[in-house]
Structure 1
Amino acid sequence: MPADSNEHPITGPDHQLPAPARRGTTRVIVWIVILLIFALGFFFILRRKDVKPQRQGRRGAGGVATITAVTAKQGDIGVYLDAIGTVTPVHTVSITSQVKGAIVAVHYREGQLVRKGDPLIDIDPRTYQATLLQAQGVLERDQALLAQARMDLDRYRDAWKRNAISRQVLDDQEKLVIQTEGTVKNDQGAVDFDRVQLGYCHITAPFTGRVGLRLVDPGNVVQDSGGTTLAVVTQLQPITVIFTIPEDHLEQVQPRLRQAAKLPVTVFDRTAQNLIAKGSLLTLDNQIDTTTGTVKARAVFDNKGDVLFPNQFVNTRLLVNTLRNVTLLPTSAIQHNGQAAFVYVIQDNVAHVRSVKPGVNDETTTQVEGLKPGEVVANSSFEKLQDKEKVIISHRPADTDDTGSDAP
């Protein structure tokens, strides 16, 4: 028969529940107590962390902020255009052979500084010397024939005056002289051509510069097609840098160039930290690159110490103009709230918020409008400052590890 669901559980003689049920209840109670202890501990930890900043914030808000200050000054500041550029030689040439023959001598050393006219390479000239000698012989023969024809012409003229010969004979001799003169000119051209070919066997530096690595050795045979480069010469002094200027800034540069102004250009290394050389703007290109919206500019540098190397990547700064007698302020003193800029002006040890309009900046200095020269401006502890709040001006450098406070 099925068991009656209303029956009471079986108990022992002492009317107590069995031991397993009692142990299960005790375990549940222990876990509940442990969880409550952990919850209370976590709550107190959070509470302590929350109270500590509030107390610190109340202490920071109630004190007087100590700041460092700077004074707005009147002075000059340059208007610069920054760009990246490439060092480009004024002249660079890859020398090739214009005659065919074997190389008999290489006169330059790798990396040597050569001057215009210095010998570089000699090609075997014997074939061209023989050709020139042959052309000179033909020229001398025809020159002798021309001299003989002219003497005969003089005799015929005398004879014609005495009516000893006919007019036709005299005319024929005159034409023969003209014909021989043409032959002599042709011979002279052949001699000049062969002399030029012979000159090509002795290759010299076309300008002063530095020669590159050796590309050929004595014994190599070169062709007159120019397919083999014999040497590369690059001019280093002076040297130029090509960089780009946005088309929106052309209206600042072009009027200065039309006034024949010498616009300074400074060149920095790849990191834009170390100054390499100083020069001046030479010219602008004659058209704008439509793909980039920029125009190329070329600046020239003396490069006396060879600090600029061809194809070197550099950063350039073009000084377009100089603003005179403007108000200058350290850039670090200017604060920003979105698009608006402001400063804390200190008057009678009280900070006053004032809106300013920043202009041209040059590294650590900015030209501003809205301040007068001589006004004192806060330059540190901005997180502690409020409008119309008293401050203490410290003459020691500001602490870079200032963590600030919760003061509004």
Structure 2
Amino acid sequence: MAAIDAIFAAPVTTPDIAPEKLAELQALVESRRPGFSLRAPFYTDRQLFDLDMRAIFGQHWLFAGSIAELPEPGDYITVDFGPYALILLHHDDGSVRALHNVCRHRGARILTEDSGTTGNLVCGYHSWTYAPSGELIHASAPGEIDFDAGCFALKRAHCRVVGGLIFVCIAAQPPEDFDQVAEIFRPYVEPHELGATKVAYQQDIVEQGNWKLVMENNRECYHCDGHPELACSLFPTWGLTDETVPHHLTDVWTRNLSASAALEQRCRRYGLSFEVVEELDTRVVGIRISREPLDGEGESFSPDGRRLSKKLLGDLPDFRLGRCSMHLQPNSWFHLLGDHVITFAAFPIDEGRTLVRTTWLVADDAVEGVDYDLEALTHTWKQTNLQDKAFVELCQRGAASPAYEPGPYMKSEYQVEAFVNWYITRLRERLQ
């Protein structure tokens, strides 16, 4: 076990950055103007992307999936964060293990499918075989000299499951405040009982944009006039205040305030957490979470706000619970409703491409065609994701232009500023 623990703690790094380039990157970080968007290289430069992989995705807790995606022992999913390839495997003891998807012989990818079921892990190149826990159990060939198989287990990443959400950290020493943040969001998430859900649908979209543009776009609703399907149920006044609501949204703002008061009463009656907790750039594991009303009937993301599945999740007492909305830095956001849950994750590919994965979860006893219509369940966010893809790609193309320069954030974009401030702070820490 000592050898396995050593493998577990081994740091994994990206290639070194040349000293002259490092000085250039440090100057870029220090030149960031608060309240303004980032300079173009943050979205277009390959070596800055490599720094992101080291300083952000190689150091911090990342959302990777949900327990509904690998419900039984032996089930697995594979995920890639830039150069890091991981296997998430549901172990026989009920835990989830995170293993680097890299054979210890000559580095071949071991599992090549996005998901499946497996016993031992067998590399398809030379049949090196690993136990589900990562130990090397077979690497023999005629005439070979014996070697210490205990020194060639698969490298591990840290893995935590909280409320049915799976998080991984590649760093040798993960950020220490994750447990504190988990205790913040646990009471919001646990009533939805993700362990008793199943995947109704999963959508993968490759956006031709840097991962930070994906996250910035998600962190504001200034652009929500471009989401007509979502505007049916999601109040387009998100992020606004009495002082910043434009005249054409006055009626919507009034309706939102009334719905918020009614939702707060229901949450107090049922003992559900609803208060806003916003620590997006004041923690290493940045978070924002709250329970917020939906328009119309206030039940789900439908044209009239009515439920999209007949099955309540967990032991929730009411469909009309709006949405529990959570943002976690650096790569995820979530909507938890009475009838279904939607998880979103950004997986960087390179400096100009990001995989955005959206997963719809429903109660595990919900029957498609009886309890929910799949097209109706997924319609709003399928369309919204395609619209967001177009917005991100417009920004990526603009950032590549010599005419681009950072522009000011509006007051309603304060969460974008918080994300960028969190990001710059993390880079500064790493560069120092």
TM range (shorter): under 0.3
Question: Scaled by the length of structure 1, what TM-score is found?
Answer: 0.17
The structure whose RCO (Cα within 8 Å, separation 6+) is larger is 1
Kindly name which structure, 1 or 2, has the bigger radius of gyration based on alpha carbons. Answer: 1
Which structure shows the higher strand fraction?
A: 1
